[in-house]
Amino acid sequence: MHFLGPILLLAAFPSSISAASLIQQYPALQVDLGYAVYTGAFDASTRLNTWKGIRYAAAPIGPLRWQAPRAPVTNRTVTPAVEFGPICPQNYPSVPNAPFIPGNEDCLFLNVYAPSNAIKQPVLVWIHGGGYGYGDASQDMTEIIAANNNGFVVVALQYRLGAFGFLSSAEVKSKGVVNAGLLDQDYALKWVQKNIHLFGGDSCSVTIAGNSAGAGSVMYHALTNGGTSGTALFQNAIVSSPYLPVQNNYDATFPTQRFYDFSVAAGCPSSGSVFDCLLSKDSMTLQQASSQISTTQTYGTWAFLPVTDGTFIKQLPSKQLLAKKVNGKRILVGSNANEGALFVPPTISTEADLVAWLHLEFPNVSDGDVAKILAAYPSSSGPVNPNDPMFATTGLGPATALNVSQVATGQQQRGNNIYAEATFVCPSYWLASAYTGNGRTAYKYQYSVPFGGHTDDLPAVFGPAQPNHSDSFVAAFRSIWGKFITTSNPSISAALASGGQPTTSSAPNPVTKFPAWTASSPQQINLNITGGTPYTTVTMFGATVTQFQEPGLKNAFSVANANTWEGGRGARCDFWRTIAGKVPM
């Protein structure tokens, strides 16, 4: 969930080749969806066919605002599918200098990338992140496909965001739908089942994937309908840093108050029935209102989020995952070493500061609950010494993420780690555990390449790789994802795992036989690097950190007990379950 806009942009075609000439040269790329006909393009450099801006649902405008997605209006005119569809209205969280970026409510489009020789290939469906408030489907998929020998088809989708996708109250539910953005995603997954064979994909071999709120979305599809959907829409899931903020009931105080705040900002009443008034407002008025409310929340949070609605999302994730009521068969779960620093105000120096922030971040918990949180995350109660050294921990101790990282120590790091574990890491543990037994399989990794901040792994997956990503690390990481997509097992070759470097160990590299996460042995692979040349860089939240680049980088992959990791992370995740109903999460 980058605060500064979409993470990566797509270069659609080689500059020397026009989209029109590609269409004329490859008329066989015409796809008839029944309701529409699209013509794609072929890129000779990647050997990929692409179709961009395919409409998968009717424009959710006018009377279709805050309604479930509907079938597109039939349009039999042949449409060149060479440009991305317009982005949805964007909302940023409460951070300094949050921008207002207008979008288009008519934004339910998806993009398809298919190898030119694709016949019943496995399918990856990518759901973008962005706090359920911003982002789009422009992520370039060519590098990860190429890294896996053009072995699968990719679909990247857009969905309604902010107040347009996640407005919630009793009135919204009675006159429309809540969780509209999740319903858009569900509709797109059904589109894949119906149509992906036309692009060379296999509807019986679908992996859904996402990062941050995209991974949170994947989690919700694993939970939808109480986990009774089985493999109707997907078989596998990849969740990278699954974002689980507070999840209120649809008619709880928090979403209802945001509903009325949004109403007032749009020029409608502050109480009573306001739904029809909101329907009458023009798009830009609503976009500005949505942005205004989102950017005035607690630091690093969004105003409009998924809710428990009793139908699509029936329970809190913490409860349903414990019961192992999930859809799909297999899951690959990842989290990063420093997930929390981006979202915690950098002003926590005393325990009193920490307590005040905890009450803002988790307003439903009591003083007694806060005391329990502090006990679960022990630290000195004294002020932070600005001269304390900051460094990356190994995960194995004695120094742990409880008290130190590359960007913080003391109470600040305590807050960073609390947020990281409550919001991203523990949901990843719970997801892995939910896919143990009952014929299901789970795999877990941690991305620890310094700095290992939230979303820092994405350039290694999709490109362009950053200086701290060696070619050998990128090749191995992309193969881990690719093998899971194509074979349902993330194990990779010894040559890729070692990066072609000689090894002094007689034991095989653990990623050549990627261990499954089990209840009795919750193992994770730690994906890191060693060696290299140090350089400094500035994080998106302004901290200066040391990273390492070529020459000299080597892959450092190891297996670790996830429960004892970072001073007992498993026990802390168990603790969060004890107060999850109050958070709620």
The sheet carrying 523-530 orders its strands as 41-43, 48-55, 109-115, 153-157, 121-127, 201-211, 236-240, 330-336, 441-447, 523-530, 554-561
Q: How many Å apart are CA 59 and CA 270, to the nearest integer?
A: 28
Token output for 558: 């190891």
Token output for 40: 């794609």
Cross-strand bridge partners of residue 111: 156
Find the farthest-apart pair of alpha carbons in the chain and give their distance in angstroms, rounded: 71
Q: How many Å apart are CA 531 and CA 549, to the nearest integer?
A: 8
Active site residue 105: no
Q: How many Å apart are CA 70 and CA 57, to the nearest integer?
A: 6
Token output for 489: 């097992």
- Give CA 336 to chain center in angstroms: 12
Find the catalytic residue in 94, 168, 205, 212.
212
**DSSP-derived 3-state class of residue 7:** coil
Q: How many Å apart are CA 452 and CA 469, to the nearest integer?
A: 11
Give the orientation angle of helix 426-434 with respect to helix 565-579, to 10 degrees. Answer: 80
Q: How many Å apart are CA 545 and CA 407, to the nearest integer?
A: 7
Q: Please give the helix or strand (H or E) that residue 288 lies within, else none.
A: helix 283-294
Token look-up 């450099």 returns: 45
Provide the residue type at 121 as one letter.
Answer: Q
Identify the DSSP state of 247: -
Token look-up 């574990």 returns: 421
Spatial contact of 3 and 98, defined as CB atoms under 8 Å apart:
yes
Burial class of residue 358, CB neighbours in 10 A (0-12, 13-18, 19+): buried
Q: How many Å apart are CA 551 and CA 518, to the nearest integer?
A: 38
Burial class of residue 67, CB neighbours in 10 A (0-12, 13-18, 19+): middle
Q: Please choose, from the candidates 16, 95, 108, the residue with its C-alpha nearest in 3D space to the C-alpha of residue 59.
A: 108
Q: Please choose, from the candidates 416, 414, 360, the residue with its C-alpha nearest in 3D space to the C-alpha of residue 382.
A: 414
Residues in the chain, total: 585
Spatial contact of 23 and 29, defined as CB atoms under 8 Å apart:
yes
Q: How many Å apart are CA 329 and CA 22, to the nearest integer?
A: 39
Find the catalytic residue in 105, 143, 171, 339.
339
Active site residue 273: no
The residues, any chain, with a CB within 8 Å of residue 193's CB and separated by 6 or more, are 203, 206, 232, 233
Q: How many Å apart are CA 115 and CA 135, to the nearest integer?
A: 25
Query: How many C-beta atoms lie closer than 10 Å to residue 170's C-beta?
Result: 15
Token look-up 């450092």 returns: 556
Token output for 435: 């896919």
Q: How many Å apart are CA 466 and CA 109, to the nearest integer?
A: 29
Which residues are part of the catalytic machinery? 212, 339
